[in-house]
Chains A and B, each alone.
Chain A
Amino acid sequence: MTDYRHEIDFKSMMERLGGLWDLAEELASMTITDAPIVLGHLKNSLALEDLESAHRHAHSLKGLVATVGCTRCEATASRIEKLIAAGDFETSRALLPELTIQLDQSLQGLKQIIDDGQSSSQS
């Protein structure tokens, strides 16, 4: 099984959260549940070329993954958000496969961290 924990900037996350492991764990679980759904909304909005909705969902995804330290994923979501704001739906759509893979790997990294338990916070 591939180790995706490197996708997560765990150290910065724990620093921001004041070392609260239980909070980090809860936030990670929420993100694992919510992020794929927000990505789905983003894809639909881009397909419909609904600028306002697509921009909001890209923005939401960016914030959601940033909270749990998914830095690569955050950067791609941020790029898409800017492209949407500029009205560039085509390039935005072209970035979706990359974003999907990054999100999948990041969420797997989060799951692995949760499975490791609190020992992760000390490593």
Chain B
Amino acid sequence: MLPGMIDGSHSNMIRQLAWKTPTIESLKTVTSTVLVIDDDRTILLQISRALEPLDVHVEGVTTAQAGLEAIRTLKPSVVLLDLVLPQTSGMELFQRIKDLDRRLPVVFITADAASESAIGAISLGAYDYVAKPLHLAQLQQLVSKALETRRLMSVPVAVSVTDDDKAGDQGDFFVGRSPRMLEVFKEIGRVAQQNVTVLVRGESGTGKELVARAIYQFGSRSTRPFMAVNCAALPDTLLESELFGHEKGAFTSADRRRIGKFEQCNGGTLFLDEVGDMSPLTQGKVLRLLQEQRFERVGSNDTIETNVRLVAATNRPLEQMVQDGRFRADLFYRLNVVTISLPPLRERVEDIPLLLKYSFSRARRELDKPDVEGLSPDALALLMAYPWPGNIRELQSVVRQCLLKCTGPVIVPDFLPAAILDYQAVPREEVTNRVFFPENSPASISRDPSSTAGVRPLSQLPEDSSVAGAAHVPNGMLPTHAQASGMSDLPSSDIGQLIEARLQAGSTNLYAEALEMMEKYLLTRVLQASQANQSKAAEILGITRGKVRDRIAAFGINLDKNVSIDPPR
């Protein structure tokens, strides 16, 4: 054995690199593990140093057996694998890794940049390869991208229509109960299993990437790769190379062959964000790929076949761009097979309390602010009235700013960013000192029936309650206290008015919506009358206790402290 070298004979030992011994403090923040399988200790040292800024935990093993064991036990986010290992080849090990976890990005380490085996491995699904000697900055960039790919493929997109506070814990969340969002969820369900191109449209910050990931995760290609490319983030030549790859010497800085995303993603799903920002040349190449599933690397005449499902997204007016000659009509028709349109937040104001609740729950944990209990009604009213030009991304940012700024348990208007305070130029009606707790539904009902005093029933709210918000508030006035704070004690009992509102909003699911409205009202009212006693409620309703429990869960009624229910719509 070489002095000081990692001993290959201890193949079952997972050795932790001595220079990256994690402290308790570091383990608290480390989120991902990068596994290095290489018997050269200088490689392990370099990788460890290169990845220090990424806040990842690096583990090194020297043999295939130890590598497989480490993948089973440590569940790394990325594997860096030497192509030449003792007793077995990196290629053989790669196949076994893929059997264990098809989504795990594997980056080959090779001593030869033009290695045919490395290229072959990529065609079989390896993420990429790096050549020795390692260039630490490039390595760091590559691992960063691989970690992001892993996150995109693995973090579930939870579609939540309940008050379950834990829904957002599992991954990224897709929150909405508004009819427009329910329609989006249904559309995702309809197209996910179909092998069709999907165009996701919506303003910036509305969650287009989440739609793409949901289509991937619920689709038939969910065990194959998912990759994302932002077409607006790269100059044209780089974008072409990123998508289609290039040969060594294809252009000045092409010092090695590069495999593009369409090749890497063979069998999987590719998300092309900001597709409206592609140049005419790249548009032409993407069109050909969509038509024939074939392309050439930049600088090569060899045609490569691939099988990629494309999900594209844009916030640009493609129809207008086609008319102006800035976007190819034939590509537009190819992309526009199925279109999913995400509404801007200002058009689904009824989702704001729930979005705030989830965002606060998550940000409170991330920023370690467990003492913050919630928003004051006047702060909530201001947030409800704001038009949110940056949509959900802006809302999440505002929530974090509030939490960082707030000095007490309740977020009051003083802690809101200036943009939200400045937006209000009209007098607000008097507000009370009641607090909206993000743990509970925005609409809460005290067990004490007297607490309902002063709350305006929905029938007194503006007609189109489903789109109540700044854009629809007459003369820019804020919503009423009950409406703006979402604190009406009961869901609507005025079914007629709600039906009118939904008819005007163009609902295509009114039967179910109306039944749900009625049922919510009934359950909430009876539970209030029974002081949250489920057996008594079942007796009054003439249904089983199980059915009551089921309805409580379905509607997200919280019985811990208050009987809670959705904001009215």
Contacts and interface: CB of A to CB of B under 8 A. Distances in A.
Interface of A: 13, 15-18, 20, 23, 26-27, 30-31, 33-34, 37-38, 55-56, 59-60, 62-64, 66-69, 78
Interface string B34-50: 00000111110110011
Contacts of B40: 60, 63-64
Contacts of B5: 34
Contact of B45 (A23, A55, A59): A23
B86 A56 contact: yes
B553 interface: no
Contact of A67 (B2, B42, B49): B42
B3 A27 contact: no
A59 B2 contact: no
A60 B39 contact: yes
**What does DSSP make chain B's interface, helix, strand, loop or mixed?**
loop
Interface in B2-61: 2-5, 39-43, 45-46, 49-50
Contacts of B134: 16, 67
B132 A67 contact: yes
A66 B132 contact: yes
B280 interface: no
Contact of B2 (A13, A15, A37): A37
Contacts of A60: 39-40, 84
Contact of A34 (B2, B46, B49, B133): B2
A15 B43 CA distance: 16
B39 A27 contact: no
B135 interface: yes
A68 B45 CA distance: 13
Q: What range describes how many residues of B lie at the interface?
A: 20 to 34
B3 A59 contact: no
B136 interface: yes
Q: Is the interface of A mostly helix, strand, loop or mixed?
A: helix
Given A34-B5, A38-B2, A60-B40, A67 B46 contact: yes
Nearest to B140: A18
Contacts of B41: 30, 34
Interface of B: 2-5, 39-43, 45-46, 49-50, 84, 86, 111, 132-137
Nearest to A22: B49
6 contacts: A16-B133, A30-B4, A30-B42, A37-B2, A56-B86, A67-B46
Contact of B136 (A17, A26, A68, A78): A17
B279 to A, nearest CB: 32
A64 B133 CA distance: 8
A18 B137 contact: yes
Nearest to B139: A16
B49 A62 contact: no
A20 B136 CA distance: 10
A107 to B, nearest CB: 14
Nearest to B41: A30
A102 B557 CA distance: 77
Contacts of B136: 16-18, 20
A17 B4 contact: no
B3 A33 contact: yes
Contacts of B86: 56
Contacts of A20: 49, 136
A33 B40 CA distance: 12
Nearest to B134: A16
A34 B50 CA distance: 22
